[in-house]
Structure 1
Amino acid sequence: MKHPLIVFTLGAALLLSLPARAAEIDWKKVDAALGKTAAVSGEVHRYGLPRSDLHVTLDGIAIKPALALGGWVAFAPMHGQAMVMGDLVLLETEITPVMTKLLDSGLEITAIHNHILRASPATFYMHVAGHGDPEKMAAAIRAALSTGSKTSFDPPAATAGAAPTVDLDTAKLDEIMRAKGTATGGVYQFGIPRREPAKESGMQVNTALGGANAINFQPTGGGKAAITGDFLVTGNEVNPLIRALRSGDIDVTAIHSHMLDEEPRMFFIHFWANDDAVKLARTVRAALDKTDVAQH
């Protein structure tokens, strides 16, 4: 039987060898490693990685970064370190070099797929995950994107005048969607969470970690909007939701997973349409009502 003093000494040494507690994460160092400033939501630090360098069109519409080119990574404290989840927007030629660098650094790839169809150039979305030292993971993500893609880490260029307006009846959209949207980069965005968020590695996948239904409206003139985003649903909700979308002539462009070990198992359904914004909002809301979303 070990002497109590020896046990205490060994325990103290083990504690001293563990990484800093979550509360001791120096987020300024994580910001510096990634070259970005986080948007903070509770304990989650989320970094936007928009592909502002790309000029993507779909059905003659110039896609704004906030509509479908908004890459991101988010960090949350976990077991004295941090977990990271993210969605990187890449061209086809960028997939392998970025993946290789991420894998070499110990990060994981959880999905690669399209979100939209017919876009020129075609864009793909690489979902990443990891657990460890947040500063090191941030540096690894920046290195992978800097060497394997043309993702910009420069701060947004200052523009004269007001932010781009959203030429839509946003009050009406809020009423139909039963949620308050946010204007970002000329796009009106909704993030509508599920009633009970999924869990990954015991952590709730909340809105900041990509655990919400994302619906984006980009004005295309005359009260019309291009819409895209993704719904987050369980397996039994997939077909009721896509039937509701198709009944309103909204294209279903992808059905797939973003994570590997979440509970319950979740699927992400991506979509596209360019039509009267109010009509589209009604169809989207009807589709949401086929799922277990938080009610407002």
Structure 2
Amino acid sequence: MMKRITTFGLLGLLALSSPALAAEPWEQAVATAIGKPGAEMPGGVYRIGLPRSDLHVVLDGVTLKPALALGSWLAFVPHGGGQAMVMGDLVLTDTEVNPVMAKLVAGGIEITALHNHLLRNTPHTMYMHIAGHGDPAQLAKVLHDALALSGTPLSAPPAASPAAPETIDLDTAALDRIMGHKGKIGGGVYAFGIPRAEAPRDGGMALPPAMGAAIAINFQPTGGGKAAITGDFVLTASEVNPVLRELRQNGIEVTALHNHMLDDEPRLFFMHFWANDDAQKLARGLTAALSHVAVAAN
């Protein structure tokens, strides 16, 4: 059975929330500095998604949708006195890494991790995790100026006319049933966001799931009931190898294992994965892996 500990206020999906008008002046200042509005998330987080829609990335013959594995994001949360903490994950090509890093460091933003999430993808992508504390608008300006040295789209897309709800070529009801959680369609991907049971902390501050502390599992249909899957499990040390073994036994490749933060409690490890196979078969394998993780109850 999946290890579950009841928590209050179980949070919904993170990365696919619809943008909302910033209700607080500091949120509007952040949106203006970045050049794109974000979404208000549970836990007081203001999160801006920055998908790398400019990139054409192929892995094992699958063209990756930005929502599957190419979504940069920035998440801000206030902590009093007009100050805020920002955390984020920036998707960069190899040649973008050093210019962006130099600009961030010069602006006082900390680099907390730099690594791959995928294997064999063309072009190769790196993932730079960042953290900072200070005036939220100033933090946003530094981040904007750094990302402007990459190809990351930094403007809001043109307003689209109302359309029918997005559909996807997967049996989402079956996936929900197998996973024991409800996913959400967005950007051509069916995504699950699963918070851990305990509230992780970084530098003594509680981290809501929208700050990158939730398990992310994404399905992109590849035809005939198949899907490419990727994402990351958020694990304590004792959970790492049981999850790794379960994924491998179910035909799911482990593509990276590392930290994203520097001062987290408990110490968290992020395990990334990849497979392209029957979607329901993969969901059963992922559920078996989740049985070794302390996740929040539905």
TM-score (norm 2): 0.89
Question: In terms of mean alpha carbon deviation, does 244-253 or 205-214 score higher?
Answer: 205-214
Equivalent in the alignment of 2:244: 242
Q: Please give the alpha-carbon distance, in whole angstroms, between the structure 2 residues aligned to 1:171 and 1:269.
A: 26
SS of structure 1 residue aligned to 2:74: strand
Shift of 1:275: 0.4
> Where do residues 250-261 of structure 1 align in structure 2 (5 Å cutoff)?
250-261=252-263
User: Between Structure 1 and Structure 2, whose CA radius of gyration is higher?
Assistant: 1
DSSP 3-state at the match of 2:262: coil
Question: Is the partner of 1:26 in helix, strand or coil?
Answer: helix
Give the count of matched residue pairs.
Answer: 273
Counterpart residue type for residue 238 of structure 2? N
The DSSP-based 3-state class of the residue aligned with 1:28 is helix
Question: Residue 145 of structure 1: which of 140, 144, 147 is its match?
Answer: 147
Partner in structure 1 of residue 138 of structure 2:
136
Instruction: Give the conservation status (yes or no) of the 8 Å contact 1:47–1:74.
Output: yes
- The alpha carbon displacement at 1:158 in A equals 5.5
Partner SS state of residue 74, structure 1: strand
**Is the 8 Å Cα contact of residues 229 and 270 (structure 1) preserved in structure 2?**
yes
Give 1 or 2: higher helix fraction: 1
Q: How well do the aligned residues superpose, as a CA RMSD in angstroms?
A: 1.5
Q: Which runs of 5+ in 2 are unaligned?
A: 1-22
Number of the residue aligned with 1:37: 37
Aligned counterparts of 2:205 and 2:77: Cα–Cα separation in 1: 9
Structure 1: 4+ residue segments shifted above 4 A: 157-164
Match of 2:296, SS? coil
* Conserved 8 A contact 1:163-1:185: no
Do 2:26 and 2:136's aligned partners in 1 also have CA atoms closer than 8 Å?
no
Of residues 85, 103, 106, the one that matches 1:104 is: 106
Q: Name the counterpart of 1:66.
A: 67
Q: Which amino acid aligns with 1:242?
A: L
Give unpaired runs (5+ residues) of structure 1: 1-22
Does the 8 Å CA contact 1:179/1:190 hold for their aligned counterparts? yes
Aligned to 2:219, the other structure's residue is in SS state: strand
* Whole-angstrom CA distance in 2 between matches of 1:24 and 1:155: 19
Following the alignment from structure 1 to structure 2, what is the Cα–Cα distance between the partners of residues 139 and 154? 14
The answer on whether the counterparts of 1:163 and 1:186 sit within 8 Å (CA) in structure 2 is: no
What residue identity is the alignment partner of 2:196? R
Distance in 2 of aligned mates of 1:225 and 1:24: 39
TM-score scaled by structure 1?
0.89
